[in-house]
Structure 1
Amino acid sequence: MAFTNPLTFLQQTRSEVSKVVWPTRREVLVTTLMVFALAMIGALFFSLVDILIRMGLEQVLALGERAENLR
């Protein structure tokens, strides 16, 4: 592994950092709102799926209980 002179390393690091394009305040706000919106949509979706699975499972268990009571 080749070692770099610390001064050269700092110069290269500064050069790379200067190439970074920082987002504007508006871009940060819009992307943050999109993340929250999509998180809410995902939470609602999985909540509905959970409710539907629970209802279906309760129906299946109720059928089994009724069948057991008929014996």
Structure 2
Amino acid sequence: MANPLQFMQQVRTEVGKVVWPTRREVFLTTMMVFALATLTAIFFFLVDLLIRSGLTQVLRFFG
């Protein structure tokens, strides 16, 4: 079994090696996520609209 004190020292050493993002990097990546989520939502809305109108036309033709 490992020594808990030694384990905590190793954890602190490893956490010290972590490169944390800057405030600007967090802001930019967050904006990119929102922009891409919006574009994806618009894309799927348009695809849904196209499929729905096509299906409506088919049902009118045969109905």
TM-score (norm 2): 0.96
Structure 1 residue runs of 4 or more that deviate by more than 2 Å after TM superposition: none
The structure with more radius of gyration? 1
1:57 shift after superposition: 0.5
Aligned residue in 2 for 1:60: 58
Deviation at residue 41 of structure 1 after TM alignment: 0.2
Root-mean-square deviation over aligned CA pairs = 0.6
Pick from 40, 43, 54: which aligns with 1:42?
40
- Percent sequence identity is 65
TM-score of the superposed pair, with normalisation by structure 1: 0.86
Runs (5+) with no aligned partner, structure 2: none
Q: Within 5 Å, which residues of 2 pair with 1:5-20?
A: 5-20=3-18
